[in-house]
Structures are given as structure tokens and as C-alpha cells.
Amino acid sequence: MNTEPDDLALLGLLQLVSPALPIGAFAFSQGLESAFELGWVTDEASLGDWLEGVLADGLTRCELPALARLHGAWGEGDDEAISAWDAWLAANRETAELAAEDSRLGASLARLLGSLSLLPKDLAGESPALPAGAGYVTLFAWAARLRGVPRRPAMLGFAWAWLENQLAVACKALPLGHTAAQLLVERLRPALVVAVDEALALPDDELGPALPGLALASALHETQYSRLFRS
């Protein structure tokens, strides 16, 4: 039986975005749990509005365009660009919890890739070096490139994993029924495509998240008395 490279790339992407990937993404809510506690998000409609806002003003202007640039930099073996975009992402984490989430997920993914012998080797210039303490997006971009996943599908997969995790948080903490979660998937699937389109079109000087509400929710979550999630 012949196995097409595109098939293996697709399977590699599914592996990367699977909730079963053992990196601990389920432990983080990215401020959403605090938004529940504060009464900012209370039902399916308000959750959809929150997610649309985070997608448009956050992922579209931060993680997704950075992922696109990191994907290209890994392919070109550009150490300087990889380090610069990894540092840029770290600088855009506005709270201690958001910074810890990115670094911990990055470290977890690095350990997993290391156990699979899939980390960059940086031997005799054969591959670029992994920045010290690299964040999650940087590791995701490397793994996608290594698996032969093109840039756009990698971005769509990343956005899908974010949406799926946020809905899982809501199902545990809001609570949100699974049917309502699927209705939100139907509502937001087109928005994921638009987000990738816009992220690919943005120049470097227009990047940067604009999410004061999420930053405030995340900061308040640090002292929230009762919580299920680490962010």
C-alpha cells in the first residue's frame, strides 16, 4: 500500500492538535474561568461573543501570524528569526499566568518531541537551534514543519486546537452542554478561516494583541479563590 506524503502530514497535524497530546493544555483556560466567575460570560451566546473577540483581536494578530513566520523561519533555518519571534511572543504575554502557560506548554511539547527524537539537532548547521525556553507556538511550528504540514493547515490546526480547548473549559466550568458546544463550533468555524486569512495578510508592524478584558480576567484569576484551571 502506498502512503502519500500529504496523508502523513495530515495525520501529523491531527496528532499535534489532538486533546490526547500529553502536554497538559487541558489545565489552562486562558482567563476564561475568571470571565465566568466575574459574570462576563454566562451562556452560549456570551461565550460565542467572547471567543470571537479573542480570535479577532488576539490569535489573528498574535499567535497565528507569529506561527506563520516561525513556520517559514524553521524551513529556512533562520536562527535569528526563530529567536526573535519566540521572544516577541513571550513579550506579548500580559500576565504571569499567560506567560507561564506558554512556557509550560512549550516545555511539555519539547519534552514530548525529545522523547520521540524529533527535536532540532543543530548539528553542523543541518538544522536551526531551538531557543532556550522556547514557547508553545515556536515548538508547534517546528513540529508542523517537521511533519510536512504546510503553513496554512498548520495555522488552521492551531486555531482549531485553541477553540476546542476553550469549549472544553466551558463544558467543565460554565457549564456548557455538549450540543451547545457543537453549535458554537458551527458558529465559529468560518471565523477560524477568516482569522487565518487576515493573519497571513498582516505586515509585521500591525501585529500585537488588543485584549484588555482577557488580560484583566487573567490577572484576577491569579487570586481567584476557587478554580479548576491554572490560568
Q: What percent of the chain is modeled with pLDDT above 70?
A: 91
Burial of 126: CB neighbours in 10 Å, binned 0-12, 13-18, 19+? exposed
Per-residue buried b or exposed e for 53-82, using 16+ beta carbons within 10 Å of the residue's own CB:
ebbbbbbbbbbbbbbbbbbbbbeeebbebb
C-alpha 50/C-alpha 188 separation (Å) is 11
Q: Considering the domain boundaries, does residue 15 fall inside one? A: no
In a domain, 54, yes or no: yes
Q: Which of 7-21, 52-66, 143-157, 213-227 has the lowest mean pLDDT?
A: 213-227
Residue-level pLDDT at 223: 76
Listed residue (175, 153, 139, 176) closest to 21, CA to CA: 139
The answer to whether position 16 is within a domain reads: no
More confident residue, 48 or 231: 48
In a domain, 154, yes or no: yes
The pLDDT, as a whole number, for residue 2 is: 46
Of 182, 168, 186, give the one whose Cα is nearest residue 228.
168
Q: How sure is the predictor about 180, in pLDDT bands with cuts at 50, 70 and 90? A: very high
What value does the mean pLDDT take over residues 79-85? 94
- What's the confidence (pLDDT) of residue 124? 42
pLDDT score for 136: 94
pLDDT at 158: 96
pLDDT digits (tens, 9 = 90+) for 106-152: 999 999 998 898 888 754 445 677 888 899 999 999 999 999 999 99
pLDDT digits (tens, 9 = 90+) for 6-40: 889 999 999 999 988 888 887 878 888 889 988 99
Predicted pLDDT at 229: 59
Domain count, the chain: 1
Q: Which domain holds residue 61?
A: 29-221
- Give the model's pLDDT for residue 231: 57
Q: Is residue 186 part of a domain?
A: yes
Is position 129 within any domain? yes
Q: What is the pLDDT of residue 127?
A: 61
Percent pLDDT > 90 in the chain is 61
Q: What pLDDT score does 174 carry?
A: 85
Angle at 17 between CA 106 and CA 89, to 5 degrees: 35
| 62 grid coordinates | 498574535
pLDDT given for residue 129 in this prediction: 77
Largest CA distance in the chain: 56
The answer to whether residue 73 sits within a structural domain is yes
Give yes or no for residue 204 having a pLDDT over 80: yes
For residue 21, the model assigns a pLDDT of 85
Q: Tell me what pLDDT residue 173 has.
A: 85
Average pLDDT of 48-63? 96
Evaluate whether residue 65 is within a structural domain: yes
- Please compute the mean of the pLDDT values over residues 48-71 and round it to a whole number: 96
If phi > 0 it is left, if psi is from -120 to 50 it is alpha, else beta; for residue 135 that is beta
- For the chain, what is the mean pLDDT? 88
Average the pLDDT over 190-206 and give the result. 96
CATH number, domain of 154, equals: 1.10.4190.10
